[in-house]
Chain A
Amino acid sequence: MRLLTPTTLNEALEYLAAAPAGEPLIPVAGGTDLLVSWHHHAKDDWNLLDLSRLHDTLQPFRLTDTGLQLGGLTTYWDVISSEEVGAAFPLLSEAARQVGAIQIQTRGTWAGNIGNSSPAADGVPVMMAYDALVVLQSLRERREVPLDRYYTGYKQTVRRPDELIVAIHMPRRRRTVEWFHKVGARAAQAIAKLGVAVVQDECGWRVAANSVAPVVCRCRHLEAALADGVAFARVEDLQAILSKDVSPIDDLRSTARYRESVLARLLYDKLGANGD
């Protein structure tokens, strides 16, 4: 195992750029994903880039009239502790409070949640529903990628090995619907069986779900139906459309049937003809 400890962002980007092809560096923010099953991994081939000395640069977040910019090391706890962010982007706080428990919330970061690319990432659906942009930086360039186009397949992303997630930007808009629901196996310390965030704003509907596809995904067929003003009279009607958007699997945490069915039930209860 090799551990690199840059003290400036530039140094970190230099390390990333210098890493030989085939031996990419793994950026470490809170380390909460890295430590899972630590003993059971051979770590000989690990090349870790410890970002902990970059807090001054990457931890602060900025809330302005036009939007919220989270830093590459902003934690869930930073958001939970901010009343202003809670008021402007309530789903972020709501999702953050349901990540693991306080120990994880104080270490885990929003950028790390994106970067780890788990289909069950708790923080990603709400950011996607808020139409987030991921800011990637390398020595060569700084570019912005919409979060809903960041993932290209299971654990596959558009991030190049020399790039680091340095910020996440979410626009402030007038929203008419914003709602998040996580289904975990227990009240805390649970990885999502499924989760869904729904936002309707001046740009339209966005429905983002986790644990129901190889990546956290937008449910675009459902969004289109909502935009067309379809009134779902029965849960089956909604599920028929939703099934074009999601492709859940059976795994240790739940079943494909449960995931699709419960996602449909929750959305129907929220958005259906008799919903609230």
Chain B
Amino acid sequence: MSIAADIARVDGGAKLAGTARFVDDLAVPGVWHGGAIRSPVARGRIKHIRFDASINWNKFVVVDHRDIPGPNEVALIENDQPALAAGEVRHMHEPIVLLAHPSIGQLRRALRAVQVEIDPLPAVLDPRRPLTPELVQYGPDNVFKLIDIRKGDPREVFARAPHVIEGEYQTGAQEHVYLETQGVLASREDGRMVVQGSVQCPYYVLDALTHFFGEPRDAFRVVQTAVGGGFGGKEEYPSLLAIHAVLLANKAGKPVKIVYDRQEDMAVTTKRHPSWVRHRTAVDRDGRLLAMEIDVLLDGGAYVTLSPVVLSRGTIHAAGPYHCENTHIHGEVRLTNSPPYGAFRGFGAPQTLFAVERHMDVIAERIGMDPLELRRRNLLRKGQTTATGQVFREDTDLVGLLDRALQLSDYDQRRNGHEQLNRTHRYLRRGMGVATFYHGAGFTGAGETHLASEVQVAGLPDGRVEVLTAQTDMGQGTTTILTQIAADRLGLAVGEVLVATPDTSRVPNSGPTVASRTAMVVGKLVAKACDDLIERVGSNTGDGDVARPKGTSLQDAIRAWHVTHDGKHLLGCAKYRKPASIEWDEKTYRGDAYACFSWAAYVAEVEVDLRTCAVRVIDFVALQEVGKVLNQTLARGQIQGGVAQGIGWALYENVLLENGAMKNCQMTNYIIPGSGDLPPIRVYFEEQPTPHGPGGAKGIGELPIDGPAPAVINAVCDALGMSIRSIPLTPERLLDLLGSDAGG
């Protein structure tokens, strides 16, 4: 059994030895380097572009919007984003002119020698501010997307509820800080434009290139290089970067590489959407949730990009994993003149789950109930429904999950210890906080049906097999788990399974590597394609629907097939089909938003230094139910990384905006926690296999970013006896909240 075996990651050796090739490692003879001249203002009309006379511009390739052959649109949900601004700029750092030169030093010098003169226009820098006509830039009201989720009749309930509790919660932007910055290389090979790069979704790039250049799909080939982290940051942004590289390569007639340095990467690429979430909750005397009204507002930035679907996931998760018969969730994502906010691990859910999990503690305090007891009374039970009416059919015991997490964290004993310390210590205060939450695996609603993902498993002449998907390994372990799934299904040793590098000229479109969908959705398709391969070589043992021939016999059968089908390709295929049990209505937002959810209960213990107002997380328990765990080490790594990133979002990572764009775009000034700042992150799994994933696996990648922020801030509130509503809770902000006379 390869599933659940703790095998070493198959890409690990090359990365450890330094032989894995990232895009900037690709040495291409005669390559030119590309870069962009960008908007210096949040919004305005381009008046004049001045090229300094000290540079010999004949030695450069210069591209602007007039060089664009087709529609000046980066294809995504809506095609409203230009690849190069023409006339008007909508955000700081919006690309206007591209330059390329064989010398990167000359390129950098030239980039400093171009001045863009702009007549500024009034800009929207806060989505909460009322609009005046000159600020409207999208539709009648700058609203990119509006979502209403309704269940029961909350209004009627509020009128007679014993308690009505309100709260507003705010989260900041977050930068991905993947290890490897964004980069692509465009070069013409055999009459076809080949784009290699650090991308999460090769087919998104292919679609964008096809639309932009108005050429057929086979005019391009998109190949993933080794990717040093993505976290969603390389989901949609690389489409723009690839367009830029191809524009330059076409005009130069040379291969062109664009690799951002850290400062440019932080300044110009996407971030997590800032959010403002308002809760109004009716509660009865026993602490049962009677009605919830939730208003979600996201800052979308200057173009639509992926914001509508981020809002969708955000609103669907907004009511938390609780039972409430009367719910109204209203969500809006609005335009501002910031660089577009984009995909980031969690995709809207961390924002709304921060709000609801803080709000649960606020409710508990207001009605004088233990926050754990409040959660126990309201956590979903089998047969109850979520806000979209999705029936909770799983056997997962959410109350049991919470109680086990409390036990693992030694909750009661530690809190007793804190009471003593908090009474006597000059400047240290400790507290504990909890978050119970969920994350839907796979695309939202009908997303997977629309994607119609395809996977192939090839039987090779030597008897080995090759898994063909578009799934990228960004460090999260995709290659390893797909290897395990295929080996398990085919009864082969893991060494007999290859996983293809995503390359749109040879792998089918199995959808993007996002949304916690790879293990569950694509993994299941890999298993099905394996079954199809077995059928095709006729070695089905015939014992029901799962064919498991002995490894040797399958390999013999594959080799034998090739003897009789000389030169042909042996492919097992699978295509996504919506399970009959899943029903979703996109218009009313009712039904099964996801095939299944992963569930978790996290417990944070914090220590606050009242002298410096610094918060340190000193212990963290992460307990989750994620279906079958495919690889313990990789899964633990995903959880620990997500918790670290969540702690960063809660306490450290402060995107400072100036004219709508990040101004602290250096790693010395944008603080992500280091290992010295992190607690032991103690990871535990419960496994409740789902029929929707291979071997029962659910999605795991995003879940761990959802819980840490509310757990940590709940713990700070417990330590200090106060109610904190926004993150990041930097020491400066905590000092302001505490007032100048506290502590000392």
Contact = CB atoms under 8 A, between A and B. Distances in A.
B608 to A, nearest CB: 13
A37 B669 CA distance: 12
Given A257-B735, A257-B736, A37 B666 contact: yes
Contact of A261 (B263, B652, B671, B735): B735
Contacts of A262: 611-613, 731, 735
Contacts of B108: 39
Interface stretch (B59-67, B153-161, B673-681): B673-681
Contact of A186 (B109, B612, B613, B652): B652
Contacts of A269: 426-427, 611, 744
Interface string A90-109: 00000000000000000000
Contacts of B674: 186-189
A42 B112 contact: yes
Interface in A59-106: none
Contact of A42 (B109, B426, B667, B744): B109
Given A37-B263, A42-B109, A252-B656, A265 B611 contact: yes
Interface string A35-64: 011011010000000000000000000000
B677 A186 contact: yes
A54 B656 CA distance: 42
A191 interface: yes
Interface in A238-276: 252-255, 257-258, 261-262, 264-266, 268-269, 272, 274, 276
Q: Which of A236, A269, A272 has the most CB of B within 10 A?
A: A269
A50 to B, nearest CB: 20
Interface residues of B, number: 33
A183 B612 CA distance: 8
Contacts of B668: 36, 189-191
A13 interface: no
Interface in B251-272: 261, 263
A226 interface: no
Contacts of B671: 185-186, 190
A188 B678 CA distance: 12
B190 interface: no
Nearest to A38: B261
Interface string A190-204: 110100000000000
Contacts of B666: 37
A272 B611 CA distance: 13
Size bracket of the A interface: 20 to 34
B663 interface: yes
B540 interface: no
A267 to B, nearest CB: 10
Contacts of A139: none
A258 B108 CA distance: 38
B664 interface: yes
B616 to A, nearest CB: 9
B672 to A, nearest CB: 8
Given A185-B652, A186-B676, A265 B736 contact: no
Contact of A258 (B109, B112, B677, B731): B731
B743 interface: yes
Q: Which of B109, B668, B671, B676 has the most CB of A within 10 A?
A: B668
Nearest to A40: B263
A218 B389 CA distance: 66
B744 A255 contact: no
Nearest to A189: B674
A24 B667 CA distance: 30
A266 B613 CA distance: 11
Interface string B581-616: 000000000000000000000000000001111100
B564 interface: no
A163 B261 CA distance: 36
Q: Which of B112, B663, B671 has the most CB of A within 10 A?
A: B671
Contacts of A264: 744
Nearest to A236: B741
Contact of B669 (A40, A188, A252): A252
Interface string B54-76: 00000000000000000000000
B566 interface: no
Nearest to A193: B731
B426 A187 contact: no
A26 interface: no
A28 interface: no
Interface string A171-183: 0000000000001
Contacts of B656: 252
Contacts of A17: none
A275 to B, nearest CB: 8
Contacts of A268: 744
Interface string B708-744: 0000000000000000000000011001100011011
A225 interface: no
Given A39-B108, A266-B611, A261 B740 contact: yes
Contacts of A37: 263, 666
A266 B427 CA distance: 10
Given A235-B744, A258-B732, A274 B263 contact: no
B424 to A, nearest CB: 13
Interface in B390-438: 426-427
A36 B652 CA distance: 22
Given A189-B674, A262-B611, A269-B611, A253 B669 contact: yes
Contacts of A234: 744
Interface string B295-317: 00000000000000000000000
Nearest to A274: B426
A255 to B, nearest CB: 5
Nearest to B669: A252
Nearest to A264: B744
Given A39-B261, A252-B656, A274-B426, A265 B677 contact: no
A88 B2 CA distance: 59
A254 B612 CA distance: 12
Given A186-B671, A188-B676, A189-B674, A252 B612 contact: no
A178 B426 CA distance: 21
Nearest to A268: B744
Contacts of A266: 611-612
Contacts of A236: 740-741
A265 B732 contact: no
B545 to A, nearest CB: 53
Interface in B39-90: none
B673 A186 contact: yes
A189 B673 CA distance: 10
A158 B109 CA distance: 34
Contacts of A189: 667-668, 674
Contacts of B736: 257
A274 B731 CA distance: 24
A190 B109 CA distance: 30
Contacts of B612: 183, 262, 265-266
Contacts of B610: 265
A257 B63 CA distance: 47
Contact of A265 (B109, B669, B744): B744
Nearest to B610: A265
Interface in A146-163: none
A183 B667 CA distance: 17
Contacts of B611: 262, 265-266, 269
| Top 5 A-B pairs, shortest CB-CB distance | A187-B676, A235-B744, A185-B671, A258-B732, A252-B669
16 contacts: A183-B612, A186-B652, A186-B673, A186-B676, A187-B674, A190-B668, A191-B668, A236-B741, A252-B664, A252-B669, A257-B735, A257-B736, A261-B735, A261-B740, A265-B611, A269-B611
Interface of A: 36-37, 39-40, 42, 183, 185-191, 193, 234-236, 252-255, 257-258, 261-262, 264-266, 268-269, 272, 274, 276
Given A186-B671, A235-B741, A261-B740, 12 more contacts: A42-B112, A183-B614, A185-B671, A188-B674, A188-B676, A190-B668, A190-B671, A191-B668, A254-B732, A255-B732, A257-B732, A261-B735
